[in-house]
């Protein structure tokens, strides 16, 4: 059989009693061949000790099911904001959290951690970028791992940084360890930031390549969006139900220039049920089912 070249999955949960083993089972139940997880709650940095998380059991199942560990993604918690140093305690806490999450990611056998670049909170984007680059320098100097951080492109709500490819490139350039940085491209976020992937996907990919370089693209978040282009909102929608629509997202998943890059769904649950099995099936096959959500 020919090897599947598309790496498609979703974010998955990690709950008692099976923890990481449960995460892997969840991903497999959606028909995924990659997935993204948080090493604890997304909203805080309270973390269970690694020894309780059934990591070895999870990794064994990963191996048995043919999932490539190198394509797995960890998402750092949202509370990190390393783009503002006006509150030294919070800045330091953010750096410490980055370091401990890098180490946790490494312990799971994963090599890519997605990080939101954060908010400058009134310091201005330039200072925010500097603050983040310095924080990353500190973290990379002491974490002792080879895990890469994928800076996620943001939609531009509030005081976010990392909303243009140029800003993301600047973060990478200003860091002393650029080889440990890459990018996570979120389709909802770049639409909301003003990149017209609906009408000019090839052009946007070309622009990314020119400004940052496609070799830096480590992850794609495949989400439809509730809002039109340049809305600066960041509200994810189910595949086919938003402004981008199925065809655009199908072309993202199958784009020849994005081959081999893990694609992760972060679309909303429907009546407390994960939509990912259905969405993954449609995005793989290209067969869209009208009103699949109803």
237 alpha carbon, distance to own chain's centre: 16
User: Of these, 143, 170, 224, 234, which contacts Zn ion (CB under 5 A)?
Assistant: 234
- How would you classify the pairing of strands 36-37 and 73-75? parallel
Among Zn ion, Fe ion, none, the one that 234 touches (CB under a kind-dependent 5 to 8 A) is Zn ion
Nearest alpha carbon to residue 5 among 262, 217, 247: 262
Among Fe ion, Zn ion, none, the one that 143 touches (CB under a kind-dependent 5 to 8 A) is none
How would you class 5 by CB atoms within 10 Å of its CB: exposed for 0-12, middle for 13-18, buried for 19 or more? exposed
Is residue 192 a contact point for Fe ion (CB under 5 A)? no
Cβ closest to Zn ion, residue 160 vs residue 234: 234
Cβ closest to Fe ion, residue 61 vs residue 283: 283
Among Fe ion, Zn ion, none, the one that 221 touches (CB under a kind-dependent 5 to 8 A) is Fe ion
Could you tell me which stretch among 86-94, 104-112, 220-228, 242-250 binds Fe ion (CB under 5 A)?
220-228
Is residue 221 a contact point for Fe ion (CB under 5 A)? yes
Rounded CA gap, 8 and 259, in Å?
Answer: 11
Nearest alpha carbon to residue 81 among 96, 59, 66: 96
Nearest alpha carbon to residue 36 among 98, 129, 115: 115
Is residue 192 a contact point for Zn ion (CB under 5 A)? no
Cα 36 to Cα 139, 192, 195, 213, 262, distances in angstroms: 22, 22, 24, 23, 9
User: Of these, 186, 192, 234, 237, which contacts Fe ion (CB under 5 A)?
Assistant: 186
Rounded CA gap, 197 and 178, in Å?
Answer: 27
Kindly provide the b/e burial profile for residues 260-273, where b requires at least 16 CB atoms within 10 angstroms of the residue's own CB: ebbbbbbbeeeeee
Could you tell me which stretch among 74-82, 164-172, 190-198, 229-237 binds Zn ion (CB under 5 A)?
229-237
Cβ closest to Fe ion, residue 186 vs residue 237: 186
Binding to Fe ion in span 147-176, by CB under 5 A:
152
Is residue 11 a contact point for Fe ion (CB under 5 A)? no
Closest distance of CB 179 from Zn ion, Å: 27
Closest distance of CB 114 from Fe ion, Å: 6
Q: Which residue is nearest to Zn ion (CB)?
A: 234
For residue 58, which phi and psi values (nearest 5 degrees)?
-65, -45
Closest distance of CB 155 from Fe ion, Å: 10
Could you tell me which stretch among 57-65, 68-76, 172-180, 231-239 binds Zn ion (CB under 5 A)?
231-239
- Contact residues for Zn ion (CB under 5 A)? 234
- Contact residues for Fe ion (CB under 5 A)? 152, 186, 221
């Amino acid at each position: 059989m020919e090897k599947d070249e598309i790496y498609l999955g979703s974010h998955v949960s990690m709950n008692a009693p099976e923890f990481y083993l449960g995460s892997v089972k969840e991903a497999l139940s959606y028909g995924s061949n990659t997935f993204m997880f948080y090493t604890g709650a997304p909203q805080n940095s309270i973390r269970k000790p690694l020894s309780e998380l059934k990591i070895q059991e999870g990794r064994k199942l990963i191996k048995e099911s043919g999932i490539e560990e190198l394509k797995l993604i960890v998402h750092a918690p949202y509370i990190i904001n390393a783009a503002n140093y006006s509150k030294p305690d919070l800045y330091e806490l953010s750096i410490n959290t980055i370091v401990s999450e890098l180490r946790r990611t490494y312990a799971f056998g994963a090599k890519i951690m997605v990080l939101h670049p954060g908010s400058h909170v009134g310091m201005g984007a330039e200072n925010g970028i500097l603050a983040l680059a310095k924080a990353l320098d500190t973290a990379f100097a002491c974490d002792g791992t080879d895990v890469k951080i994928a800076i996620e492109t943001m939609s531009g709500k509030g005081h976010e940084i990392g909303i243009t490819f140029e800003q993301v490139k600047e973060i990478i350039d200003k860091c002393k360890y650029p080889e440990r940085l890459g990018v996570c491209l979120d389709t909802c976020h770049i639409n909301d930031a003003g990149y017209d992937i609906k009408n000019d996907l090839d052009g946007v990919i070309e622009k990314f390549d020119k400004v940052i370089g496609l070799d830096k693209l480590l992850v794609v978040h495949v989400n439809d969006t509730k809002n039109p282009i340049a809305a600066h909102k960041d509200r994810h929608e189910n595949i086919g139900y938003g402004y981008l629509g199925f065809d655009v997202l199908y072309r993202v998943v199958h784009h020849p220039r994005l081959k081999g890059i893990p694609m992760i769904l972060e679309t909303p649950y429907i009546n407390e049920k994960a939509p990912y099995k259905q969405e993954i099936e449609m995005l793989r096959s290209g067969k869209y089912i009208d009103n699949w959500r109803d």
